[in-house]
């Protein structure tokens, strides 16, 4: 079996018939699919990447595992972010490619997009409650607990992200 055949076969996951892919569905946990584990999905993607047509065939493939553990198909019309900074917006995990898969893709692939400052500010309110953090000239109570959304690690990652994004634009 070559990578092109495998990609074609995997795209038949939602078709009926005896010779179609029995993946177990999409829009569900990876554990509920035939992949079962991220490492299995990783191997499958790595093998398919050997095809010269991989980037052209990505649309519709059930390879889009997002940070919330749900497997989806890659879609041009609803791309996900491909970034190492997905942990900044934990409440928006469904919008980010899983961190274990990032190195397999680039933002030029169909179904992926860049995570930039505009996206960060758009989705930040889902992670940081505005009633707590939009205080209009009142100090925000600082929590040093690691289970708090805003802690030293998170704040450091935000500044790393801003620095990285600004450096990319230069």
Tokens of 156: 């450091």
In this predicted model, what pLDDT tens digit does every residue of 85-115 receive, in sequence order? 999 999 999 999 999 999 999 888 889 999 9
Q: What is the DSSP string of 78-112?
A: S-EE--S-GGGGGGGGGGBB-TTTGGG--TTSTTE
Instruction: Quick: pLDDT tens for 13-68.
Output: 888 878 888 888 889 999 999 999 999 999 999 999 999 999 999 999 999 999 99
């Amino acid at each position: 079996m070559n990578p092109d055949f495998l990609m074609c076969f995997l795209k038949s996951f939602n078709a009926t018939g005896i010779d179609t892919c029995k993946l177990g569905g999409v829009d569900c946990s990876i554990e509920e699919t035939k992949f079962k584990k991220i490492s299995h999905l990783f191997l499958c993607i790595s093998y398919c990447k050997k095809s010269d047509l991989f980037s052209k065939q990505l649309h519709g493939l059930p390879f889009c595992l997002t940070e919330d553990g749900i497997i989806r198909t890659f879609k041009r019309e609803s791309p996900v972010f491909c970034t190492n900074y997905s942990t900044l917006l934990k409440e928006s995990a469904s919008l980010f490619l899983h961190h274990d898969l990032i190195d397999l893709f680039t933002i030029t692939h169909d179904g992926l997009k860049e995570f930039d400052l505009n996206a960060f500010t758009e989705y930040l309110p889902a992670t940081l409650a505005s009633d707590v953090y939009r205080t209009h000239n009142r100090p925000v109570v600082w929590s040093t607990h690691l289970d708090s959304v805003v802690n030293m690690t998170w704040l450091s990652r935000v500044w790393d992200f801003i620095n990285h994004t600004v450096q990319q634009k230069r």
